[in-house]
């Protein structure tokens, strides 16, 4: 589009208020809630679909999720223990043991991207690449802003697609991985 | 050596004969001589006959011995597969209430005591519990038993400590509760025990009452037979049996219940053979596993292992003196002395056993007195655990059948580790019972006419947490969760809308649909005119609105536009395996499915496009504890995550403002859930399928004889679903969008972008670059208006 100077200057002047509209577009993400923990009712909540929403559902603009107090650390230790155990088992090539530990952890925190990723790694070690790719995709869904994890996941997917002979998909996955390098 | 000359022999014999003949001729025939000769003959005949009999018996014994060996050595019994529910995981932060914890302990047969002295005991009050856990050998890691202190607060477990070491415990698995067995067609059920498993009291009681000289005799106790014979003769009928444990074993194990002399003879012989071939310990062990100790409906209880579970709900090792005495008392007549039917008789018999033990110095006065005073202490449940979850065990059986033959399941002593969560199951069963009665009352339906099925599974991995096959879930019989194949009605609609949304350039949540009446020409020449539930047309609602309000006309138009085959493709992706008719009526759910099949579809939706097979089993182990098979968590991405998110969002709105909103009569306002109602023609089926963050649940209500139940999905299935969810208090949906999703305020009438405080404004998610380009102008910032000059 051709920018006329005057409207452009006006636009620049009004840049500040425009910033607020940008937030609306991104939409308010909900606080990341770990299994075993209920999101505090006072935090920002999405789900304002209709104006006639029942009371209690606040419609707010984006705000970074409040860190959930000590509750957040509650389920953490048990899962940490299992992650460590799974790591050891993977190192020792005790694959079914590693899978057991990770599945146990997943039942405690099913939305933990790290766990899904680790499970994918075990499947890679077992040469079960297509299974690994599915698990990596699942991990990506919950990975939110974790770039390291997303990178790892896309690399696994790329590797699986290459093994399948699907060059196009492998290329796509490698491109995605590169975004998070 | 040179051959002897035959002639010499002949000569000798001739001579002998001649001699004999000569002797005979000389001596006169006298009667006495003849008697002496025939006496010898008689002895000879007798000894010949005796030899023959011995040979016969010997030969028969050999033959018997072989078959005894075959039966006794090899697979001695058909050991049914033991089925376990999920083990409860304890960790700080676990959302387990103190109540739920004590219920689990009860399920495991733990006893509440004043002071803990051994495993499987607990004590506690308020929110602090002390428990000594049993150990369990999990495949991946053995979990040793320990003395544990568990503390609870409002959120769940707040502290976990090993008392002996003083250290905090990060994670601990209780042993999985035994919930049943898969026993064979001839309906014998048993839990195999080793001799070392039997408590000393039990063995002593057995010896005291049934076979005093077991360790000394050789299979048959002649004095006891003589005594019994005398008693029977005196009474002129059979009043006493003189059988040893060995003979009783033989009776039970090998032979049917014929009572003939030939049978007695066989018994004696086999008893001898057993004693000869096998040690006393082996025989005793076999006895302990074989003896008939009760009848539970069609299921025969054999062996002390199962009897301990059946009567006292605990493993045989934990039986007390009084309990052991009771079980031994049952040997004489399990039905006659049945403690549940004839408690007084059973108590008398038990005390008689105790007295015998005292008489024979197996116990002392104090022990005898103490045990006699005890109440029978039978387990509260009338029926053993295996009858508590018949619907779920039915599912387990069917899923196992894919990999195991029926004979293996019922005879190899396998251990099956399942996904069942007994706490969730309890809630489901209770709500179904209560709510069905209430609905019948409300609607004036005939009592006990309404039936239901419920399936609850874990959203992210498809594990079945609970399965309710009918209103009375303890009854075996028609398993509606697996076999009630009914038209699903509007439950099918998400598949139609999902198919449309996959074409993101053509359809978004705000795309206007046409809800005017429609007539579809069918292949058979007839016309089909589907109508909305309220008989009205609603103009051109936004796509999400048509789903939320479940408009039939708009859905059929959409489905015909998208194409029936595409909708079928989506259904298959969601996990439908059953072939269905690809007719226009499929768009409104004329296709019939079972509740568990519907659960698979909604699990894929709940997991945002990642399908995990609905699964009841985690692992199978053989009788030695070796793992035979694992059923790991698997996922398959079948629907694009962005499209799946749009669908989830719309299904949440169904609950907020659509046909699912009456759920909030029971749910907390801030609980975010998603779901869909389903009603069929003439209100014959009332469905609801929905999910929270961690659980997906499907409810079906209807009548077995297919009569209308006058309930819509909202008024029927939903009420059951919502009450179950309210009781389970699952996690709220967190609504975290995938990367390519952005939210915009749009005008639901025009479909244009708008300001959040404007008329008809709704916040909706859109896949990047599919959002509406135009703006209503309301609530727009100056910059945006300026920008608009360049569009």
| Per-residue tokens: B553 | 């006309």
Q: Is the pLDDT of residue A83 over 70?
A: yes
Please tell me the predicted confidence (pLDDT) of residue A40. 37
Nearest-angstrom CA–CA distance, B164 and B248:
47
Please tell me the predicted confidence (pLDDT) of residue B398. 92
Please tell me the predicted confidence (pLDDT) of residue B688. 97
pLDDT, tens only, B678-730: 988 888 999 999 999 999 999 999 999 888 888 888 889 999 999 999 999 99
Nearest-angstrom CA–CA distance, B123 and B113:
6
Known active-site residue B365:
no
Using the Cβ of B652 and the Cβ atoms of chain A, whether some distance falls under 8 Å is answered with yes
Q: Are B663 and B721 in contact (CB under 8 A)?
A: yes
SS3 at position A60: coil
Using the Cβ of B459 and the Cβ atoms of chain A, whether some distance falls under 8 Å is answered with yes
Nearest to A144 among B656, B736, B741 (CB): B736
**Looking at CA atoms only, how far is residue B637 from chain A in angstroms?**
6
Name the band, by pLDDT with cuts 50, 70 and 90, for residue B161: very high
What are all long-range contacts of B229-233, with beta carbons under 8 Å and residues at least 24 apart? Answer: none
CA atoms within 13 A on the CB side of B484: 30
Nearest to B630 among A2, A25, A96 (CB): A96
| Per-residue tokens: B444 | 């004036």
β-sheet bridge partners, residue B404: none
Nearest-angstrom CA–CA distance, B198 and B203:
7
Q: Are B671 and B732 in contact (CB under 8 A)?
A: yes
Name the band, by pLDDT with cuts 50, 70 and 90, for residue B236: low
Cα angle: B500, vertex B501, B502; to 5 degrees? 90
Please tell me the predicted confidence (pLDDT) of residue B231. 65
Please tell me the predicted confidence (pLDDT) of residue B784. 57
B104, B188, B210, B290: the catalytic one is B210
CA distances from B153 to B49, B79, B471 (A): 86, 43, 35
The arithmetic mean of pLDDT across residues A79-107, rounded, is: 95
Asked if A106 lies within 8 A of B670 by C-beta distance, the reply is no
pLDDT, tens only, B570-596: 999 999 999 999 999 999 999 999 999
Name the band, by pLDDT with cuts 50, 70 and 90, for residue B42: confident
Q: What is the helix (H) or strand (E) element at residue B118, kind and residue range?
A: none
Q: Is the pLDDT of residue B264 over 80?
A: no
Q: Are B437 and B657 in contact (CB under 8 A)?
A: no
Q: Is the pLDDT of residue A138 over 50?
A: yes
Q: Which has the closest alpha carbon to B87: B129, B143, B148, B159?
A: B143
Name the band, by pLDDT with cuts 50, 70 and 90, for residue B520: very high
Q: What is the helix (H) or strand (E) element at residue B148, kind and residue range?
A: strand B147-153
Name the band, by pLDDT with cuts 50, 70 and 90, for residue B403: confident
pLDDT, tens only, B642-686: 999 999 999 999 999 999 999 999 999 999 999 999 988 888 999
Q: Which of residues 114-173 of A touch B (CB under 8 A)?
A: 119, 131, 134-135, 137-138, 141-142, 144
ipTM over 0.90: no
Burial class for B478, CB neighbours closer than 10 Å (0-12, 13-18, 19+): middle
Q: What is the dihedral of CA A115, A116, A121, A122, to 10 degrees?
A: 80
Please tell me the predicted confidence (pLDDT) of residue B541. 96
- DSSP category for residue B84: E
Residue B278 or A44, more confident: B278
β-sheet bridge partners, residue B522: none
Q: Is the pLDDT of residue A164 over 90?
A: yes
Nearest-angstrom CA–CA distance, B454 and B100:
21
Asked if B156 lies within 8 A of A10 by C-beta distance, the reply is no
Q: Is the pLDDT of residue B311 over 60?
A: yes
Asked if A59 lies within 8 A of B92 by C-beta distance, the reply is no
User: How many Cβ contacts (< 8 angstroms) between chains A and B?
Assistant: 185
Q: Which of B94-108, B225-239, B684-698 has the lowest mean pLDDT?
A: B225-239
pLDDT, tens only, A99-113: 999 999 999 999 999
CB contacts of B784 in chain A (<8 Å) are 18, 21
**Looking at CA atoms only, how far is residue B297 from chain A in angstroms?**
37
Please tell me the predicted confidence (pLDDT) of residue B53. 87
Which residue from A minimizes the CA distance to B780?
Answer: A21
Q: Please tell me the pTM assigned to this model.
A: 0.80
Q: Which of B48-57, B214-223, B428-437, B736-745 has the lowest mean pLDDT?
A: B214-223
Name the band, by pLDDT with cuts 50, 70 and 90, for residue A181: confident
Using the Cβ of A51 and the Cβ atoms of chain B, whether some distance falls under 8 Å is answered with yes
Using the Cβ of A13 and the Cβ atoms of chain B, whether some distance falls under 8 Å is answered with no
Q: Which has the closest alpha carbon to B337: B280, B368, B376?
A: B376
Backbone angles phi, psi at B657, to 5 degrees: -135, 0
Nearest to B669 among A55, A71, A82 (CB): A55
Strands B89-90 and B172-173: antiparallel
Using the Cβ of B672 and the Cβ atoms of chain A, whether some distance falls under 8 Å is answered with yes
Q: Is the pLDDT of residue A34 over 60?
A: no
Q: Which has the closest alpha carbon to B70: B219, B302, B277, B305?
A: B277
Q: Is the pLDDT of residue B196 over 50?
A: yes
Using the Cβ of B683 and the Cβ atoms of chain A, whether some distance falls under 8 Å is answered with no
Q: Are B541 and B479 in contact (CB under 8 A)?
A: no
Those residues with Cβ within 8 angstroms of residue A25's Cβ, 6 or more apart along the chain or in another chain: B742, B743, B744
Q: Which has the closest alpha carbon to B94: B145, B135, B152, B136?
A: B152
Known active-site residue B739:
no
Mean pLDDT (chain B) is 87
Asked if B91 lies within 8 A of A141 by C-beta distance, the reply is no
Q: Are B394 and B482 in contact (CB under 8 A)?
A: yes
Q: Is the pLDDT of residue B24 over 60?
A: no
CB contacts of B738 in chain A (<8 Å) are 141
The arithmetic mean of pLDDT across residues A97-126, rounded, is: 95
Q: Is the pLDDT of residue A135 over 60?
A: yes
Residue B517 or B31, more confident: B517
Nearest-angstrom CA–CA distance, B334 and B291:
10
Backbone angles phi, psi at B538, to 5 degrees: -120, 35
Burial class for B739, CB neighbours closer than 10 Å (0-12, 13-18, 19+): middle
Select from B783, B786, B787 the residue whose CB has the most chain A CBs within 10 Å, as the one to mutate to test that interface: B783
**Looking at CA atoms only, how far is residue B325 from chain A in angstroms?**
42
Label residues B701-724 b or e (16+ Cβ within 10 Å = b). bbeeeeeebbbbbbbbbbbbbbbb
Nearest-angstrom CA–CA distance, B649 and B510:
12
Which residue from B minimizes the CA distance to A12?
Answer: B783
Select from A1, A110, A179 the residue whose CB has the most chain B CBs within 10 Å, as the one to mutate to test that interface: A110
Using the Cβ of B89 and the Cβ atoms of chain A, whether some distance falls under 8 Å is answered with yes
Q: Which of A144-148, B86-90, B283-287, B383-387 has the lowest mean pLDDT?
A: B383-387
Q: Which has the closest alpha carbon to B169: B196, B144, B186?
A: B144
């Amino acid at each position: 589009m051709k920018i006329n100077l005057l409207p452009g200057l006006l636009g620049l002047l009004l840049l500040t208020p425009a910033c607020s509209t940008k937030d609306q577009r991104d939409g308010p993400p909900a606080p990341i809630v770990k299994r075993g923990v209920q999101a505090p009712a006072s935090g920002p909540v999405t789900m304002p679909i209709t104006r006639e929403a029942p009371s209690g559902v606040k419609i707010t603009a984006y705000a970074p999720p409040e860190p959930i107090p000590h509750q957040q650390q509650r389920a953490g230790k048990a899962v940490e223990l299992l992650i460590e155990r799974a790591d050891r088992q993977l190192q020792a090539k005790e694959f079914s043991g590693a899978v057991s530990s990770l599945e146990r952890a997943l039942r405690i925190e099913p939305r933990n991207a790290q766990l899904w990723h680790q499970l994918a790694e075990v499947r890679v070690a077992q040469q079960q690449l297509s299974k690994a790719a599915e698990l990596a995709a699942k991990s990506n869904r919950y990975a939110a802003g974790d770039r390291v994890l997303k990178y790892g996941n896309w690399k696994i997917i790329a590797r699986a697609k290459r093994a399948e002979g699907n060059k196009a998909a492998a290329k796509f996955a490698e491109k995605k991985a590169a975004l998070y390098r | 050596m040179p051959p002897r000359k035959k002639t010499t022999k002949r000569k000798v014999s001739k001579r002998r004969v001649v001699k004999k003949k000569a002797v005979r001729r000389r001596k006169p025939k006298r009667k006495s001589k003849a008697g002496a000769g025939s006496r010898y003959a008689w002895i000879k005949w007798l000894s010949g006959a005796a030899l023959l009999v011995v040979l016969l018996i010997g030969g028969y014994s050999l033959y018997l011995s072989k078959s005894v060996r075959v039966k006794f050595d090899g697979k001695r019994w058909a050991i049914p597969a033991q089925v376990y529910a999920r083990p409860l995981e304890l960790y700080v932060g676990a959302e387990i209430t103190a109540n739920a914890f004590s219920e689990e302990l009860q399920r495991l047969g733990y006893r509440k005591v004043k002071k803990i002295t051994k495993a499987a005991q607990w004590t506690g009050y308020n929110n602090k519990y002390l428990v000594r856990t049993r150990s369990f050998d999990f495949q991946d890691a053995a979990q040793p038993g320990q003395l544990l202190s568990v503390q609870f607060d409002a959120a769940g477990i707040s502290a976990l400590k090993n008392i002996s070491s003083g250290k905090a415990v990060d994670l601990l698995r209780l042993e999985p509760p035994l919930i049943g067995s898969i026993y064979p067609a001839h309906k014998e059920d048993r839990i195999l025990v080793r001799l070392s498993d039997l408590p000393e009291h039990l063995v002593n009681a057995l010896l005291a009452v049934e076979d005093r000289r077991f360790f000394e005799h050789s299979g048959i106790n002649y004095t006891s037979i003589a005594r019994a014979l005398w008693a029977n003769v005196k009474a002129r009928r059979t009043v006493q049996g003189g059988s040893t444990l060995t003979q009783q074993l033989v009776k039970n194990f090998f032979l049917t219940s014929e009572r003939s002399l030939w049978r007695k003879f066989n018994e004696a012989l086999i008893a001898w053979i057993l004693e000869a071939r096998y040690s006393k310990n082996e025989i005793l062990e076999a006895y302990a596993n074989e003896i008939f100790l009760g009848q539970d409906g069609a299921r025969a209880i054999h062996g002390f292992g199962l009897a301990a579970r059946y009567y006292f709900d605990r493993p045989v090792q934990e039986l007390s003196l009084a309990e052991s005495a009771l079980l031994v008392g049952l040997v004489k007549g399990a039905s006659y002395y049945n403690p549940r039917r004839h408690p007084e008789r059973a108590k008398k018999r038990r005390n008689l056993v105790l007295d015998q033990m005292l008489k024979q110095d197996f116990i002392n006065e104090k022990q005898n007195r103490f045990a006699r005073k005890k109440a029978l202490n039978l387990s509260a449940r009338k029926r053993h655990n295996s009858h508590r979850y018949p619907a779920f065990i039915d599912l387990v059986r069917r899923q196992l059948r894919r990999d195991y033959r029926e004979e293996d399941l019922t005879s190899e002593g396998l251990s099956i580790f399942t996904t069942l969560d007994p706490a969730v199951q309890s809630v489901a069963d209770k709500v179904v019972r209560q709510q069905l009665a209430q609905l019948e009352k409300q609607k004036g339906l005939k009592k006990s006419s309404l039936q239901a099925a419920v399936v609850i599974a874990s959203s992210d991995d498809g594990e079945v947490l609970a399965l309710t096959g009918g209103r009375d879930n303890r009854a075996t019989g028609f398993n509606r969760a697996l076999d009630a194949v009914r038209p699903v009605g509007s439950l099918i609609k998400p598949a139609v809308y999902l198919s449309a949304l996959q074409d993101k350039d053509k359809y978004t949540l705000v795309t206007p649909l046409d809800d005017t009446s429609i007539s579809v020409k069918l292949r058979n020449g007839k016309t089909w005119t589907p109508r909305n539930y309220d008989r009205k047309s609603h103009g051109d609602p936004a796509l999400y609105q048509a789903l939320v309000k479940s408009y039939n006309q708009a859905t059929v138009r959409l489905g015909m536009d998208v194409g029936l085959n595409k909708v079928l493709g989506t259904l298959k992706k969601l996990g439908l395996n059953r072939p269905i008719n690809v007719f226009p009526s499929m768009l409104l759910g004329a296709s019939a499915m079972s509740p568990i099949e519907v659960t698979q579809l909604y699990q894929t939706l709940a997991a945002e496009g990642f399908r995990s097979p609905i699964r009841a089993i985690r692992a199978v182990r053989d009788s030695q504890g070796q793992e035979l098979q694992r059923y790991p968590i698997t996922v398959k991405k079948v629907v694009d995550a962005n499209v799946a998110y749009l669908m989830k969002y719309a299904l949440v709105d169904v609950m907020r403002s659509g046909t699912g909103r009456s759920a909030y009569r029971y749910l907390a306002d801030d609980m975010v859930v998603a779901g869909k109602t389903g009603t069929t023609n003439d209100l014959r089926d009332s469905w609801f399928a929905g999910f929270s963050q961690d659980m997906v649940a499907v409810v079906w209500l209807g009548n077995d004889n297919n009569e209308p139940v006058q309930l819509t999905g909202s008024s029927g299935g939903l009420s059951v679903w919502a009450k179950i969810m309210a009781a389970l208090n699952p996690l709220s949906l967190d609504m975290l969008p995938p990367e390519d999703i952005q939210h915009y305020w749009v005008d639901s009438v025009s479909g244009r972008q708008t300001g959040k405080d404007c008329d008809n404004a709704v916040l909706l998610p859109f896949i990047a670059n599919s959002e509406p380009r135009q703006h209503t102008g309301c609530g727009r910032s100056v910059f945006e208006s300026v920008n608009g000059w360049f569009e």
